[in-house]
A and B are shown apart, each in its own frame.
Chain A
Amino acid sequence: MWTLIQIELFKIFRRPRTYIAFAAIAALIGVVQLGLKIDGQAYVSFMMRDISSSISVEGKILNGYQVCYIVLQALLVHVPLLISLVAADMISGEANMGTLRIMLTKPISRTQFLLAKFIATVIYTLLLLVWLAIMALFVNMLIFGTDDLFLLKSQYVVLLKKDDVFWRYVCAFGFAALAMTTVAALGFFLSLFAENSIGPIIATMSVIIFFTILSTLSSIPLFNAIKPYLFTTHMIGWKEFFDIKVNDANEAIVGTIQNPGKIVQSSIVLVLHIIGFITAGIFVFRKKDVLS
Chain B
Amino acid sequence: MNGSVAMNHESLRKNLTWWMAAAALLVGCGKVEPPPFRLNMTQMVSNETPTSPEYQQEIADVLGAMFGTPDEPYAVPEAGLDLSRLRMAAGAAWSDEKGTNHGLYRKHCVHCHGITGDGRGPTARFLNPYPRDYRQGVYKFKSTYNADRPTDDDLLRVLVNGVPGTAMPSFSLLPHSELEALVEYVKYLSIRGQLEVSLAAYVYDDLGEEAEVDENGDEKVDSEGNEITKRIPLDPVNDPEQREVVMELLAEIIEGWESSAEKVVIPSEDHIPADNRNAEEIAASVAQGRELFFGTRANCVKCHGPTALGDGQQDDQDSWNKAHKKFLQDMVNAGDQEGVHPGIVASRAEVVASIYTVRNAIPRNLRQGIYRGGRRRLDIFWRIYTGIAGTPMPATGPASPGAQGTLKEEEIWNIVDYVLSLPYETPSRPLKALPVNLEAVN
Mutual binders A and B: no
Interface residues of A (CB under 8 A from B): none
Interface residues of B (CB under 8 A from A): none
